[in-house]
Amino acid sequence: MVYAGTMIGYGPYHDKYASGREGDCPIVALSSRAQYISLYVAGSRNGKPIAEAAKAKLGKVSVGKACIRFKRLADLDVPAARAGSRFGAARQW
């Protein structure tokens, strides 16, 4: 699916926030930006967002709560990112 016209994503799930706001989000999404590529992974492992939990294994990347940013695919440890993405898809946050 395409989200916001700039992102391709897989596995929509419906989420409801504590504020009462709700909406559909992808479990895994990819977006190309001017300076980098962003991989978004929804979900948590042991109470920590998957991207943050896997940060040390992902290679030459910048990590936010659910976002993994890299300049070139060669900078990303693809098997580690794939493992985290599969965990997120299986758990659906």
pLDDT single digits (tens) 40-50: 988 777 788 88
Within 10 angstroms of residue 69's Cβ, the number of other Cβ atoms is 19
Cα–Cα distance list, 29 to 20, 42, 69, 70 (Å): 24, 9, 12, 14
pLDDT single digits (tens) 10-24: 877 777 778 999 988
Domain residue ranges in the chain: 18-91
Where does the pLDDT of residue 81 fall: very low under 50, low under 70, confident under 90, or very high at 90 and above?
A: confident
pLDDT single digits (tens) 66-79: 899 999 999 999 99
